[in-house]
Structure 1
Amino acid sequence: MKPADVCLAVLVAVIWGSAFVLSRIALDELSPELMTALRFIIAAIPCLFVARPKVSWPTLIAISFTLFLGQFLAQAYGIAGGVPVGLTSVIVQSQALFTIAFAAVLFGERPTRMQTVGIAIAAIGLLMICGTVGYDFSVTVFAVLMLSPVFFAVGNLLLRRAQGVAMFDLFAWLCLVAAVPLLALAVAKNGVAPTWHQLSHMSLAVLLCMLGIGLVSTCFAYWLWGRLLRDYPAAQVVPFALLVPFVGSAASSIVFGETFGRLRLAGMLTVVGGIAVMLLAKRPQPLPEAGA
């Protein structure tokens, strides 16, 4: 990769890691549903200027509801429920484990030996983290948060159905598709008056956080990431995502003073280590067809 593109990949990781901190601040004033809806309303602004990509509505909705709506709503519920920001960033990145596992089951993409080792390592790390659940947040909240990497993984696989379209246009419309039901959910769950009160009494700090999450983290960073994936093999680009949990953990420690017990910290490092093994291993090979 060119040095400038390496810097862009690192920049994306820093933006995504910092977005977890911004989400935590925004959730002090906004409900998880409204915060997630605003994220995508802001990120969908480019839809005013770009046409809908040539992707069927069912495919567009399926990708949006998993990759965006499901993933980020579960994240918001987890953070609002007390899961530390640093831990949340690690859990979300475990999507690599689920992506490879689902691809093996659904598409016959047999994991390589090293990817299998990485899956085992990451699974052990998740079990270690599970051993710390129940002290500062509930098992239910942790279970909801674990839906985030699952939705993320399913969305990754569904994204294959949108090959050959402009990434910027696609992600803008994915944001719009997610924003509409999320706003409806916020109003239905919280009520019209409380929702309007949250919006009309939003502090400047939270407004800036939402602009950062919507425009910079969701719109700009995803566009950069899509451009890098277009110009370089995924094996060169995807490993930079390993920086996200480190940035998220470091930022949360600085901003919120978050600390982790030995078992949880060991589990987090084990998960990241397993993800590193998976991402740096060679791509899986499809299973041979019957009779071949």
Structure 2
Amino acid sequence: MNLRDTLLAIAVAVLWGLNFVAIDIGLHPAGQEVPPLLFVAIRFVLVVFPCIFFIRKPDVSWAAIIGVGLFMSAGQFGLLYLAMALGMPAGLASLVLQAQVLLTILLAAMFLGERPSRRQGGGVVLGVAGLAVVATGRSAVAPLLPLVIVLAAALSWAAGNVIARRAKAASGLGLVVWSGAVVPLPLAGLSLVVDGPEAVFTTLGNLQAPTILSALYTAVFASLVGYGIWNRLLASHPSSSVVPFTLLVPVVGMSAAWLVLGEVPSGPEVTGGLLLLAGVATAVLTFGRGRRQSRRAGLDLLRG
């Protein structure tokens, strides 16, 4: 990836890292618990409207649009919000969700024929070692069920990554908006079934400012901006070059959770975070073939 796309990928990681704190705040405003599936539905109403009236349908099949909507949006966030509502800490959620890195590379190898280089594979292994260190340090405070649900969310995200990569939509933003239209009705319907009509309509009639601001942040910055850039990067580069940048997400997420929510990282978490950064550098700072290309790429990165 060139320097511009590298910086865009880092910016997306920052937006997504902050996203976990925003979700936690929106789910647990003072004196209220917002039904998680309903909250996801609200988020994607804001993603879709009014943008869908101004953005063309991407030049991909309806199957791809529905697939991305079901896996990258409804599946990932429905499960993530549910896990956080059940007690998964925001910082730890940002970490565990990055299991999607390995899962995406595995699925891309199986379905797209993409094979990561040894350097990329080594970087992912190093990053996963960092994830393991942090997860071990937090395992005592993470209930098993929310942990399993976040892993399921990671698998859903990975499947969505592969579908988006195969679709190669020219407009990443268009894919976000049009695939987002798949989300609100099914998740709102599930919330009516799971939480009950009374809880749903009471929440809608008493939305608090933190929940509204959280929904706006997650819709505009995490979805429209973040996934708009992300889908374009996946359409332009192999998954194994793009996906490792998400290893930065838990570093941002855990730092933000520390500052905003008081989730103080332990020694293992700090150590694991440093390993994650090392893994990202190893996996994504791959150079072109030949020494001359390697030197030029290295100089470009240093100048940036």
Conserved 8 A contact 1:18-1:248 = yes
1: CA distance, partners of 2:148 / 2:39 = 20
AA in 2 matched with 1:199 = L
Aligned with 2:263 (options 252, 255, 258)? 258
Does residue 35 (structure 1) correspond to residue 7 (structure 2)? The answer is no
Decide whether aligned partners of structure 1 residues 50 and 21 sit closer, same or farther in structure 2, where only a CA change above 3 A counts: same
Conserved 8 A contact 1:239-1:280 = no
Does residue 198 (structure 1) correspond to residue 203 (structure 2)? The answer is yes
Does residue 49 (structure 1) correspond to residue 54 (structure 2)? The answer is yes
Shift of residue 243, structure 1, vs aligned partner: 3.9
Listed as ranges, the gaps of 5+ residues in structure 2 are: 289-304
1: CA distance, partners of 2:275 / 2:7 = 26
Aligned to 2:153: 148
Aligned to 2:14: 14
Shift of residue 103, structure 1, vs aligned partner: 1.9
Shift of residue 265, structure 1, vs aligned partner: 4.2
2: CA distance, partners of 1:262 / 1:63 = 37
Q: Tell me the number of residue pairs that the alignment of Structure 1 and Structure 2 aligns.
A: 283
Structure 2 SS opposite 1:202:
coil
Higher relative contact order (CA 8 A, sep 6+): 1
Shift of residue 6, structure 1, vs aligned partner: 7.5
Aligned counterparts, 1:17-166, within 5 A: 17-28=17-28, 29-45=33-49, 46-132=51-137, 135-166=140-171
Aligned to 1:290: none
- Point out the more displaced range, 51-60 or 169-178: 51-60
Conserved 8 A contact 1:90-1:268 = no
Decide whether aligned partners of structure 1 residues 281 and 74 sit closer, same or farther in structure 2, where only a CA change above 3 A counts: farther
1: CA distance, partners of 2:53 / 2:271 = 46
Conserved 8 A contact 1:97-1:275 = no
Q: Tell me the C-alpha RMSD between the 2 structures.
A: 3.1
AA in 2 matched with 1:13 = A
Shift of residue 269, structure 1, vs aligned partner: 4.1
Decide whether aligned partners of structure 1 residues 2 and 114 sit closer, same or farther in structure 2, where only a CA change above 3 A counts: closer
1: CA distance, partners of 2:5 / 2:130 = 31
Aligned counterparts, 1:205-284, within 5 A: 205-226=210-231, 241-281=246-286
Aligned to 2:292: none
TM-score (norm 1): 0.82
2: CA distance, partners of 1:241 / 1:98 = 13
Conserved 8 A contact 2:120-2:282 = yes
Conserved 8 A contact 2:116-2:240 = no
Listed as ranges, the gaps of 5+ residues in structure 1 are: 284-292
1: CA distance, partners of 2:42 / 2:75 = 15
TM-score (norm 2): 0.79
